[in-house]
Amino acid sequence: MSSFAPSTLNPRIKNVQYAVRGELAIKSEKYRDMLKNSDHGLPFDKVITANIGNPQQKGLDQPPLTFGRQVASLLEYPPLMESGKNIFPSDAIARAKELYTEIGSIGAYTHSQGVPFIRKNVAKFIEQRDGYPSDPNHIFLTAGASAGVNLLINFLISDDKSGILIPIPQYPLYTATLAQYGGIPLPYYLEETERGWGTSTEEVERAVKKAIDEGVKPKALAIINPGNPVGSVLTYEEQASLVKLCEKYDIVLLADEVYQSNIHTDDAKFTSFKKVVCDLQSNVALISFHSISKGVTGECGRRGGYFECVNVPDETVALLYKMVSVGLCPAVGGQIGVDCMVRPPVEGEESYGLWKKETDTIHKALAERTLFMAQRLNSLPGMSCAPSPGALYLFPRLHLPEKALAAAKEAGRTPDNFYAIALLDQTGICVVSGDGFGQKDGQAHFRLTCLCAGVEAYVDKLEKFHREFMKKYE
């Protein structure tokens, strides 16, 4: 037997599941390769990648913001700061020179916590957003928000009775990371209604009490706001109630706020948990995460993000620093992306007009696609779709006929996974079945992004498939 056979490895690895890049995504890549041949024999001519919030991926093609790419280009090849003066706008050159003075070559390691100058700029961004001071020494730049979540869950799982409260439906990063470190997922259920997916403090407290009764210590409450996969946006009152609950049970608050600039309706408003905690003068330990991967930046591949520690002891911050030092430093390109996200061009600067046009165009497209898709899906028999005022996704619910449920059972699959595979096989549309995010027993959902260009044709294909599927099993 090989010394590197699965049976010889850390058994926790086998329990890690990540549906967003799971079976459906793997199968869609196989189909993408088949389509390169003229005799592919598939009933569709392209794969529609609706399974992941990856804005710049081929087929989704959200254009990158020009200013950030210009600054990145200049730092990749510093001689352009002089020779490219007729090509690059003056403010992009000025920003690149400023960062070059602080960083030097982007081929060198930086401070393990991230470039101090960029952390100061993140602190200013937070202060301007919330109206409260931010300490750059309590900010960690990371390789996307996921790296920060991974690090914090590793810290919090102190023994085999440590649990993290996670929303259901949830982004599978949380259950995957808990499985990796031997933590216990403590589910609290979001409430699906015609108005959207609500977070009930009473439901979270139910999950807390259940864990305690079972001998599990709830160490942290994970909140995704705006929500993934459901697109909900918490009200200030809901957030305040959750902060008070964390106070009551001495629970750390993990605020995943990577979609904070993805708000699609006038009646939804993002408020950071940092502001709520400070407004309430709460002593709750708060870790809040942000990323360049979402919003209108969409720079997933550059792997840039940060987390801020609030009401966290200096001794713990020192331990966090020790652990990030093991990885030497976050990717410098991602750090530069963070700086451009928190310091975009401002009115009066040369790049502002184009930046404003680009960001407005992306916001408008996402809002229109989200509304259009929800309306169309709600018009279908056997499907309902709660509104999604934030983030990049819809999470429609399937109400499938008994014959479809029986066929899924016979195939050894959950109903939504059975549906999603048929959808991919017949249309090339790749979504993620709801069982990958968690849901109440007996329910079936799927998640799809609102990023796809040509959304009318895409929804037409989905609608045609769904009607035929329902008729087949009526």
pLDDT digits (tens, 9 = 90+) for 68-91: 999 999 999 999 999 888 899 999
What mean pLDDT value characterizes the chain? 90
Predicted confidence (pLDDT) at residue 57 exceeds the cutoff of 90: no
Of 442 and 284, which is predicted with more confidence?
A: 284
Residue 330 has a pLDDT of: 92
User: In which residue are the tokens 């592919």 written?
Assistant: 40
Rounded Cα–Cα distance for residues 448 and 135 (Å): 38
First vs last Cα of the chain: how many Å apart?
51
206-222, pLDDT tens digit by residue? 999 999 999 999 999 99
CATH 3.90.79.10 correct for 6-62+357-472: no
Per-residue pLDDT of 339-355, as tens digits, reads: 999 999 999 999 999 99
Fold entry, domain 109-342: Aspartate Aminotransferase; domain 2 (3.40.640)
What are residue 289's DSSP bridge partners? 256, 307
pTM value is 0.90
pLDDT at 18: 59
Over residues 134-150, mean pLDDT: 93
Domain boundaries, the chain: 6-62+357-472, 66-107, 109-342
d(CA 464, CA 142): 43
Residue 233: per-residue pLDDT: 92
- Per the CB < 8 A criterion, the answer to whether 336 and 119 are in contact is no
pLDDT of residue 1 exceeding 60, the answer is no
Report d(CA 275, CA 240) in Å as an integer. Answer: 10
Res 29: pLDDT: 87
- As given in the structure block, the two tokens for residue 64 are 């990158």
Which of 17-21, 151-155, 288-292, 382-386 is the least confident region?
17-21
pLDDT at 192 over 80: yes
At residue 176, φ and ψ (nearest 5 deg) are: -65, -45
CB 53 within 8 A of CB 20: no
- Between 275 and 23, the higher pLDDT residue: 275
Secondary structure class of 237 (helix, strand, coil): helix
CATH class of domain segment(s) 66-107:
mainly alpha
Residue range 172-185: average pLDDT? 86
